[in-house]
Structure 1
């Protein structure tokens, strides 16, 4: 079952993320987030109206996904980056596909027009998942991370959401934000 994340899910989400940080190269973090940091992450994302989803089985969180603005500057306001992690014992069960499909739908409903996947370590399973969902290869940054004694690439993949760049959005980026940046 998929549902919106709640602050009470933070311990489960932090545990899933910790495994990926400590054993995998999908995240370039080297120290896992604390439960308190994860609680704040959930608040930050949901307060902006961006989607943050969890997948549950028998009441246990087995995966999560969220979208956040791709970069902080106002002109990026219509582009988001997805983050998706599945509990190690549940990988390959279709949970990632369910999460990503729902995340695409909710990100489109929010008004994002492009979704970017930044795939740490060029993880083959993540590249395959995003490709299956319609993402196209947008680039590769070679040897930009170092973890576990080896250099790691980041693979960029992208999918248009809704009308993509086929029409102008109903609003423009916040001009007041530009003034704040210039100060």
Structure 2
């Protein structure tokens, strides 16, 4: 497996990661966004005021191939030791071990932030992401039926968690 590199997302990366995300908005149920998002909206998804949360571009053989986010789960103090992780890869980069490396990387970053549990919320149709999180030791902890509606059909949302400390 070829090693990925990760770089903290800065403002100059916003349009590149937005292009990756727009593919998923327009062509998949991996995200529940239904309309294209603006530069500013993308910036708010990947650049945080709180230093506990971070996002990184992913490079594979020197090429930008995706991004990974460690973000706030809920805005309530009792959730301060929990965070949500999200990974998006450019089309054509699946099946190369990049997701595995991204999860390992972001878990290591989360441990430096004294986080206790990581959560991943995945569309019930996204079998690839569910398989990745299960392989990485995440446990299915929730299954919300028909909570999203996109492309003329109802979508389930599946929750995974992993205690990391």
**TM-score for both structures, normalised by structure 2:** 0.90
Name the counterpart of 1:119: 122
In 2, the alpha carbon distance for the partners of 1:59 and 1:116 equals: 29
**Cα 1:40–1:146 shift into 2, 3 Å:** closer
Name the counterpart of 1:181: none
Counting only pairs closer than 5 Å after superposition, residues 77-156 of structure 1 correspond to structure 2 as 77-156=80-159
In 1, the alpha carbon distance for the partners of 2:112 and 2:125 equals: 28
Q: CA-atom RMSD, angstroms?
A: 1.5
**What are structure 2's unaligned runs of at least 5 residues?**
none
In 2, the alpha carbon distance for the partners of 1:30 and 1:136 equals: 28
Q: In the comparison of the two structures, how many residue pairs are matched? A: 161
Q: Does 1:41 find its partner at 2:45?
A: yes
Q: Does 1:9 find its partner at 2:34?
A: no
Q: Which has the higher strand share?
A: 2
Q: Which has the higher helix share?
A: 1
Contact 2:9 2:47 (C-alpha < 8 Å) held by counterparts:
no
What secondary structure, in the 3-state scheme, does the structure 1 residue paired with 2:47 have? helix
**TM-score for both structures, normalised by structure 1:** 0.82
Q: CA deviation at 1:42?
A: 3.0
Name the counterpart of 2:68: 65
In 1, the alpha carbon distance for the partners of 2:62 and 2:20 equals: 15
Contact 2:116 2:163 (C-alpha < 8 Å) held by counterparts:
yes
Contact 2:46 2:54 (C-alpha < 8 Å) held by counterparts:
no
Query: Quick check: 57-66 or 93-102, which moved more?
Result: 57-66
